[in-house]
Structure 1
């Protein structure tokens, strides 16, 4: 067989291709994960910050605070709120369960029927100590103390939901689009337009299908209301893992490049040039609530957690040290119990 003459003109195209292959480094899985999301308005979180966000959401159990289908039934409070919304079956409930690290003991209801989630449900997380429920006496009444020093729920007493100081409230909104009802949408819009505790709305868009007309309609509502919002590309694993087999480093890099291209297309639609710098945050977060790539953690979920903490003003510094706790109103020290807990009812009265 004749040997290839590297100096001949016919060999130049092949040599160029070989040079391109050699010069293109194959990224490791960790490097691919670091390139998952691009940040243009905020700083890329470092390892210490991502670890802080992970522990904030996983070291304590989230607590269900309330559920309602009417905006006027939302209690006032001093805790910052963020909300997740998206088309029916965009994977919102699965994302919330992954956010709270509850893949098996599910917190948010996952339905195969579009539009099944009807209520706006609020969950508390984080703070000085774990939230939960405690027995309290109604005004003018007292609890009976038993011989074992335990308080029993007697007539005239009630259970109250608690959230720790420095915690935040995550509101799960009903899905819109196919199978959703118009009257639920009206209440959701009221919440997005009028809720003063709302710091940011996270709009989920399916990475496979991109921006639908219903998504664009919701984006218009958020823009017109001036509601701070950010895009999350859910189900990104469908592009990173197009088959059941784990991709090789080279294939993984190719899939990531495709995801980046789709991210830019979504950015062009949801962050038009004339509206940059307004209510929408230019940083788009890609994630998955079904697949892991590193340390057994869901793809991009720590970045979602970090974005939530940033929105609520509860992020840490670059070394992972907790910053000053932020709340939206003043709470009387008398309302704080011995565990550093504040009742939802006490917070409701604090900001009135």
Structure 2
């Protein structure tokens, strides 16, 4: 227990947040399928994740799978998710997942406002790109550019486009997570 608590207070953390059924658990499984301690339950039922789930990734950092907002949202969402985000100590990045088929919703805009209010560094990740054509993906990217002024604490202005189902974008996002957690060193000239 002491070892876990020590790691929790000293290791960096990354969190995944998004509306219900955006594919958080599927994406986490695709990203960390080689990590034996990250066992994420996936359900086709929206709102399956009801609590903050913490996973220690190879004693290097913590991953937080947050419950979804919107449909079938747990009653304690505000107190648990907002409470965690307000009091975070070692959170280095929050990944806000957006469904590529739907785009940015009013609920997503509320999350963006919360990030701004709490000064939370985040990155946009568009999921389920296997379900939309490139034209829709381009429209989605352009919609982000329209709200760019809102993205004041977005630490990485280029969103990630991923598919947990077919693996598109997964290696790039894995590399980014490795970099921000200090587990991937990049040298350049």
In structure 1, C-alpha distance between the alignment counterparts of 2:180 and 2:142, rounded to whole Å: 22
Q: Does 1:283 align with 2:158?
A: yes
In structure 1, C-alpha distance between the alignment counterparts of 2:83 and 2:77, rounded to whole Å: 10
Per the alignment, residue 88 of structure 2 pairs with: 195
CA offsets per residue over residues 269-303 of structure 1, 9 Å max, x none? Answer: 3x32xx55x31131200000011xxxxxx100011
Q: Does 1:95 align with 2:6?
A: no
TM-score normalised by L of structure 1:
0.48
Gaps of 5+ in 2: none
Per the alignment, residue 168 of structure 1 pairs with: 61
Per the alignment, residue 42 of structure 2 pairs with: 110
Q: Does 1:261 align with 2:139?
A: yes
1:307 to 160, 163, 176: 176
Name the SS of the counterpart of 1:182 in structure 2: coil
Of the two, which has the highest radius of gyration? 1
Per the alignment, residue 208 of structure 1 pairs with: 101
- After the TM superposition, which parts of structure 1 deviate over 3 Å for at least 4 consecutive aligned residues? none
Gaps of 5+ in 1: 1-64, 67-72, 127-162, 241-254, 292-297, 320-352
Structure 1 contact 86–215 (Cα < 8 Å) conserved: yes
- Residue 77 of structure 1 deviates from its aligned partner by 1.4
* CA shift in 2, pair 1:222/1:315, >3 Å: same
Per the alignment, residue 57 of structure 2 pairs with: 125
- Residue 318 of structure 1 deviates from its aligned partner by 4.2
Instruction: List aligned pairs for 1:200-349, cutoff 5 A.
Output: 200-240=93-133, 255=134, 257-269=135-147, 271-272=148-149, 275=150, 278-281=152-155, 282-291=157-166, 298-318=167-187
- Residue 186 of structure 1 deviates from its aligned partner by 1.8
2:76 to 183, 187, 211: 183
Aligned residues: 182
In structure 1, C-alpha distance between the alignment counterparts of 2:63 and 2:129, rounded to whole Å: 22
Give the RMSD, CA atoms, in angstroms. Answer: 2.4
- Residue 76 of structure 1 deviates from its aligned partner by 4.7
Name the SS of the counterpart of 1:83 in structure 2: strand
Name the SS of the counterpart of 2:76 in structure 1: helix
